[in-house]
Amino acid sequence: MGDDGAGRNHQAFDLSIGVLPQGGSKCFDDDGRLKRSGTVWTASAHIITAVIGSGVLSLAWATAQLGWVAGPVVMLMFSFVTYYTSSLLAACYRSGDPVNGKRNYTYMDAVRSNLGGFKVKICGWVQYLNLFGVAIGYTIASSISMMAIKRSNCFHASGGKNPCHMNSNPYMIAFGVVEIIFSQIPDFDQLWWLSIVAAVMSFTYSIIGLALGIAKVAETGKIRGSLTGISVGTVTQTQKIWGSFQALGDIAFAYSYSLILIEIQDTLRAPPAESKTMRKATLISVGVTTLFYMLCGCMGYAAFGDLSPGNLLTGFGFYNPFWLLDIANAAIVIHLVGAYQVYCQPLFAFVEKTAAERFPDSEFITKDIKIPIPGFRPYNLNLFRLVWRTIFVIMTTLISMLLPFFNDIVGLLGALGFWPLTVYFPVEMYISQMKIPKWSTRWLCLQILSIACLIISIAAASGSIAGIVLDLKSYKPFSTAY
């Protein structure tokens, strides 16, 4: 422990001279926190883990809506916008000076110090609504995967005679129960091994999906699909338009990670300046992700053509090797159990902090009850945490059971989160940080980018809402069977 003291004295000594060297002391950074150790590679790994999630699975469907020309072009366009706005956002990690300015630890902090006032409230609402939506999307996706395992086994057991229709509710409830248990672990999102497990799982199922797509193309010997996507005989003209719009939302969702970019940047060591390292990490990870998405989306489309399913892995449903599909679907479920917590814990923490500030004297909210666990540290049971997190999980599970439309929900989430969080706030913060004058060429270009993305977002959201309305016409609540 001697180093700590030495570090502190060393830091205090430097302050007294009035010069704090870049990076603070040997043990502490310039903000007094322990030395950060992150590098380009750890940051890239974090981003790739965050980005390559269940969004991959809807890409073949999205490519089928847009066709062989527009599909890849739209993916490239989204990847470019994501890369560009992420590097704008990375420049806002420190306020004022890019090397020694005050650090912002979260996305909200960056908005607060660069824009302030009412915009912080809007940003908070959009961010937390988006996280709530992600929880619903993940519940639906995991139930689809659990059912795919059950169905393929049942189908093989009956020798392919039984179509094995089943209800999705028990699977959603099972997922909810698991999440209720995990959500009681405080700071679950900080468990380092979780990220590694999630990364391994997401690569497992994406690669299996990709491999099966390639195998199917090799087996039939022809690449399916057309230059313009699904043809207007298979669907009506309006369905084609709405489908294309919804595909934009699905692709946007597959790229969304700006929410956690600042938090990832906060793990990086300096020098070199964090924004430089982050720009490299963004380039590497967006490059890897785009390549991967192109492969998954295009091979899936080549394998299934116009009939590409909304969730790639359910499309191979009744083929051999069925155990391989079971592994892929199990990997999705394991990944989503962890990802659900990583996304919801910030929301839990926010609500609990707000409640404790509102009612500081309430024992229900602030009191911890210590429960001894033999062989481990005692567990702190907080009644408010127990009740509120349980209610939250039950709510997301109920909404998932009411609206089990994976593609539409994914498209809607992507559309709602894309413009404000990935484009609007980073652009506005960058303009205020770099003090770019109004009506200058740079200012105009950034605003044009922002407005173009807003139009895409509105189109994608309307496509998804149209999809949900269509689904609701032929739908009875709580009785969705596949």
DSSP state of 189: G
pLDDT confidence of residue 191: 65
pLDDT confidence band for 481 (50 / 70 / 90)? low
- pLDDT tens for each residue of 186-221: 766 566 777 778 778 888 888 888 888 888 888 877
Helix (H, G, I), strand (E, B) or coil at 102: strand
Length of the chain: 482
Helix (H) or strand (E) holding 381: strand 379-382
**The whole model's pTM is what?**
0.79
Between the CA atoms of 241, 478, 394 and 50, what dihedral angle is there, to the nearest 10 degrees?
-30
pLDDT confidence band for 233 (50 / 70 / 90)? confident
Omega prior to 346 cis, within 30 of 0: no
- Residue 97: closest CA among 9, 7, 20: 20
Task: Identify the weakest region by mean pLDDT among 125-129, 228-232, 436-440, 451-455.
Answer: 228-232
**Rounded Cα–Cα distance for residues 471 and 146 (Å):** 22
The rounded mean pLDDT for the chain is: 82
pLDDT confidence band for 477 (50 / 70 / 90)? low
For residue 348, what are the CA distances in angstroms to 334, 352, 458, 461? Answer: 21, 6, 29, 27
pLDDT confidence band for 10 (50 / 70 / 90)? very low
pLDDT confidence band for 80 (50 / 70 / 90)? very high
pLDDT confidence band for 72 (50 / 70 / 90)? very high
Q: What is the separation of C-alpha 408 from the centre of its chain, rounded to a whole number of angstroms?
A: 16
Tokens of 210: 């990709």
DSSP state of 96: S
Is the pLDDT at 318 greater than 80? The verdict is: no
pLDDT confidence of residue 158: 77
- Count of C-beta atoms within a 10 Å radius of residue 148: 25
DSSP state of 273: P
